[in-house]
Amino acid sequence: MSAAGTVAVQTTDHGVVPVPEPSWCLGVHQATGFRSDVCHLGRTVAVKVQTRCHGEVVLVEACLVQYPYSTGSRAPYVTVDFVGDGHEYSDAGLRGLSERLVGFALETVPRLRAELAAAGEVR
C-alpha cells in the first residue's frame, strides 16, 4: 500500500474536486463524470481455474470499492463478481475447481474482510 494523499479529480458538476486518497486505492479516477461518480478502486483479486473448453478462465473477481461523494452510502465495500458462462471440466479440472473455491472461501474472503475492516468499515 502506498502513502495516502489527496488527488484532484475533474468532474462535470463541481469542477476539480480534491479527493483524499485511501492507501488501498490504485489511484485511477475517471475525469468524465459527476462528483458522486468519483470512485476509489483497490486491486482486483482474481480466482482462476483450468477448464477443458477454454483453458484457464477467471471464475471470481473481487475488489475494494468506495464512492466518497456518493449521495447514498460512502462506506467502502467489496464487490464479488462470479464471472462468465458454464465451462467444461475434466476430473482434474474439477479437483482444481474445488481447490480454488475452498481457497476463495477460506483465504481470499477472510483477507478481503480484513482489507475492508482496515478501510474503515467493520460489520
Contacts to Zn ion by CB under 5 A: 21, 25, 40
Query: Min. distance of Cβ 29 from Zn ion in angstroms?
Result: 6
Query: Min. distance of Cβ 72 from Zn ion in angstroms?
Result: 18
Query: Min. distance of Cβ 28 from Zn ion in angstroms?
Result: 8
Cβ neighbours, 10 Å, residue 72? 7
Please, what sign has the CA dihedral across residues 21, 25, 31, 33? negative
The residue nearest Zn ion at its CB is 25
Identify the bridge partners of residue 21 per DSSP, sorted by sequence position: 5
What contacts 55, CB < 8 A, 6 or more positions away?
Answer: none
Query: Whose Cβ is closer to Zn ion: residue 35's or residue 40's?
Result: 40
